[in-house]
Amino acid sequence: METSEAEKEMREWCVALPKVELHAHLNGSVRNSTLLELAKELGDKGVIVFEDVKDVIMKNDRSLPECFRLFDLFHILTTDHDTVTRIAKEVVGDFAAENVVYLEIRTTPKNNEAKGMTKRSYMNAVVKGLKSVEDVDVVLFDSNLRNDETPMSDLSGDTKRKKIYVRLLLSIDRRETTSAALDTVNLAMEMKDQGVIGIDLSGNPVVGEWETYLPALEHAKDLGIPTTIHCGEMKLELSEQQVPNRKEIQAMLDFCPQRLGHVCCLDDEEWKKLKSSMIPVEICLTSNVMTGGAPSLELHHFADLYNAKHPLSICTDDSGLFSTSLSNEYYLVASTFGLSKTELFRLAQGAVEFVFADDEVKKSLRAVFERAAAETLAS
Ligand SMILES: CNc1ncnc2c1ncn2[C@@H]1O[C@H](COP(=O)(O)O)[C@@H](O)[C@H]1O
Ligand SMILES: [Zn+2]
């Protein structure tokens, strides 16, 4: 009984904690209730069989290959302009509700001729969703920065409107060609004044080759667009695939992106290289354990990197797909690795330094954490 009271108090503390989310895929962050509603609509139209889809959505344990099959299904459910707008709006609302004060959402711009969709129109639909959030102040453009210093997260839980900075990263899917990847980078450049500030490389790690995306990532670098790369997310079982995988991890580290995602399966040399690089790592505990990138929470490489004082940020990856939240991920850090509230707070605060937004935003976020420190750490 006592434990559950303590757990409840800690969980509430993690919700109240101001947080920075740097690794969240739009289509992986959709609420299950929304997916079910969309599936029902398509079921009624005879496009899919609702009962089959329902079971897949509600299933909890998922291997990485299953995740990618599921994403193909999600994309059938979500990929029309109005639905993209809806999910973008909901996802921002959900993060803001748990006191995320700065959010980088990443999403793969999609061409879909049948729906009259281009990568640009897909992104316009995302931006429309971000602009249509009603209950929360969404700050989407740097030029919109206001000078007021209204606390964005209110730890005493009063009714002040929440405020959240939102920025967009455009993902290159590993299934894409060099030219499609280049299109995505050029689109990011075109949409710089609409909250797009970075490029991500993601998708099924057993698909595609580093050399295919490299020209696009180099192009981003030339244009001064920051990049984050999914790196070493899972062990490749087949021996003939282990070679390119090792080569790929090396190449990714050599590329020196601004951040790396996951880094679950590095060998000793690569760990050394990563640690000396000081490239910040986006840590996704639940995701890695559910997809097998990490053997268990207790054995997750978070502990090693944290003890080595490597720059880290705690992230959800796919909060919908893995039924988690950023507050829950912080709770798991505390309950698994025994971090104190002060250490947890410093971890959340530290992530401010790794955001892709400009210095003005960073300054404002630092102030949010400074203000929150006294109250949060006193309790
Ligand atoms: C679980 N670990 C993961 N590893 C690699 N890529 C992932 C991922 N989770 C999500 N994605 C990438 O994000 C897309 C869904 O969001 P968007 O359609 O872009 O909004 C997936 O199709 C995949 O490419
Ligand atoms: Zn990811």
Give the mean pLDDT of the chain.
92
- Number of C-alpha atoms within 13 angstroms, CB side, residue 321? 28
Sign of the torsion angle spanned by Cα atoms 336, 342, 345, 350 = negative
Q: How far apart are CA 18 and CA 372, in angstroms?
A: 8
CATH of 2-30+79-378 among 2.20.140.10, 3.20.20.140, 1.10.3720.10, 3.40.50.12280: 3.20.20.140
Ligand 1 atom closest to the CA of 291, numbered from 1: 1
Per-residue pLDDT tens over the stretch 337-379: 999 999 999 999 999 999 999 999 999 999 999 999 988 776 5
CA 18 to chain centre: 16
Ligand 1 atom closest to the CA of 64, numbered from 1: 1
CA nearest ligand 1 atom 13, residue = 25
Per-residue pLDDT tens over the stretch 181-215: 999 999 999 999 999 999 999 999 989 999 999 99
Q: Domain spans of the chain? A: 2-30+79-378
Instruction: Tell me what the mean pLDDT of segment 82-101 comes to.
Output: 98
pLDDT of residue 234: 84
Helix, strand, coil distribution of the chain in percent, nearest 5: 55, 15, 30
Phi, psi at 174, each rounded to 5°: -60, -15
The number of beta carbons lying within 10 Å of the beta carbon of residue 295 is: 11
Distance 371 CA to ligand 2 centre (A): 31
Catalytic residue among 233, 248, 282, 329: 233
Per-residue pLDDT tens over the stretch 217-261: 999 999 999 999 999 998 776 555 566 688 999 999 999 999 999
Evaluate if residue 149 carries a pLDDT over 60. Answer: no
Element (H, E) at 162: strand 162-173
pLDDT of residue 62: 79
Residue 176 pLDDT class (50, 70, 90 cuts): very high
DSSP state of 231: E
Is the overall model pTM greater than 0.80, yes or no? yes
Distance 108 CA to ligand 1 centre (A): 8
- Residue from 69, 71, 119 to probe ligand 1 pocket by mutation (most atoms less than 8 Å from CB): 71
The H helix count followed by the E strand count for the chain is 15, 9
Evaluate if residue 152 carries a pLDDT over 50. Answer: no
> Is any ligand 1 atom within 6 A of the Cβ of residue 108?
yes
Residue 150 pLDDT class (50, 70, 90 cuts): very low
Active site annotation includes 233: yes
Kindly identify the ligand whose nearest atom is closest to the C-alpha of 282: 2
Q: How far apart are CA 277 and CA 255, in angstroms?
A: 11
Beta bridge mates, 172: 201
Q: How far apart are CA 151 and CA 368, in angstroms?
A: 6
194 and 169 in contact (C-beta within 8 Å)? Answer: no
Per-residue pLDDT tens over the stretch 156-170: 444 578 999 999 999
- Please state, for a pLDDT cut of 70, what percent of the chain lies above it: 92
The number of beta carbons lying within 10 Å of the beta carbon of residue 246 is: 17
> Is any ligand 1 atom within 6 A of the Cβ of residue 233?
yes
Q: Could you tell me which of 356, 367, 366, 298 has the C-alpha nearest to residue 104?
A: 356
Helices (H), 98-192: 119-131, 178-190
Cα-based angle 207, 127, 255 (whole degrees, multiple of 5)? 40
User: Which of helix, strand or coil describes residue 201?
Assistant: strand
50 and 40 in contact (C-beta within 8 Å)? Answer: yes
Q: How far apart are CA 369 and CA 363, in angstroms?
A: 10
Q: How far apart are CA 219 and CA 339, in angstroms?
A: 40
pLDDT of residue 333: 98
Instruction: Tell me what the mean pLDDT of segment 60-71 comes to.
Output: 85
102 and 365 in contact (C-beta within 8 Å)? Answer: yes
Q: Which two tokens stand for residue 211?
A: 């050399």
DSSP state of 161: P
DSSP state of 243: H
278 and 311 in contact (C-beta within 8 Å)? Answer: yes
> Is any ligand 1 atom within 6 A of the Cβ of residue 71?
yes
